[in-house]
Amino acid sequence: MNDSENIKQVSNLFSTISLEEMDRVKLMDRTDTKFVFHIAELSELLQSIRQDYFILDIKGHRVHAYETLYLDTVDFDLFRNHHNGKLNRYKIRYRNYKESALAFFEIKFKNNKGRTIKKRVKIKTELGVMNAGTEDLLHSITPFSAEQLEPKLWVNYSRITFVGKKNTERITIDLNLHFFKPEDPNTVSAFPQMVIAEVKQEKAQHDSPFIRALRKRNIREAGISKYCYGVFHFFDQVKKNNFKPIIRFIHKCASERAFNLAG
Does residue 116 lie within any of the structural domains? no
H/E segment holding residue 63: none
Domain annotation covers residue 92: no
Res 261 pLDDT > 50: no
Q: How far apart are CA 105 and CA 245, in angstroms?
A: 32
pLDDT in tens, 100-145: 888 999 999 988 887 888 999 999 877 888 999 999 999 999 999 9
**Per-residue pLDDT at 86 exceeds 80:** yes
Helix (H, G, I), strand (E, B) or coil at 202: coil
Residue 80 domain-assigned?
Answer: no
The model's pTM is 0.89
Q: Is residue 84 part of a domain?
A: no
- Counting the structural domains of the chain, the total is 1
Q: Report yes or no on 114 lying in a domain.
A: no
The pLDDT-based confidence of 27 (bands split at 50, 70, 90) is low
H/E stretch holding 46 reads helix 42-49
In this structure, what DSSP letter does residue 84 have? T
Q: Domain range for residue 243?
A: 3-74+153-261
Q: Is residue 109 part of a domain?
A: no
Domain-located, residue 112: no
Mean predicted confidence (pLDDT) in 16-35: 78
Least confident of 33-37, 78-82, 247-251: 247-251
Task: Specify if 138 maps to a domain.
Answer: no
Q: Taking a C-beta distance cutoff of 8 angstroms, is the pair 178, 171 a contact?
A: no
- What long-range pairs does 147-152 form, CB within 8 A, spacing at least 24? 148/73, 148/74, 149/71, 149/72, 149/73, 149/92, 150/71, 150/72, 150/73, 150/74, 151/69, 151/70, 151/71, 151/182, 152/70, 152/71, 152/72, 152/76, 152/181, 152/182, 152/231
Rounded to an integer, what distance in angstroms lies between the CA atom of residue 172 and that of residue 39?
14
Strand partners, 176: none
When mean pLDDT is compared across 12-21, 125-134, 169-178, 201-210, the lowest value belongs to 201-210
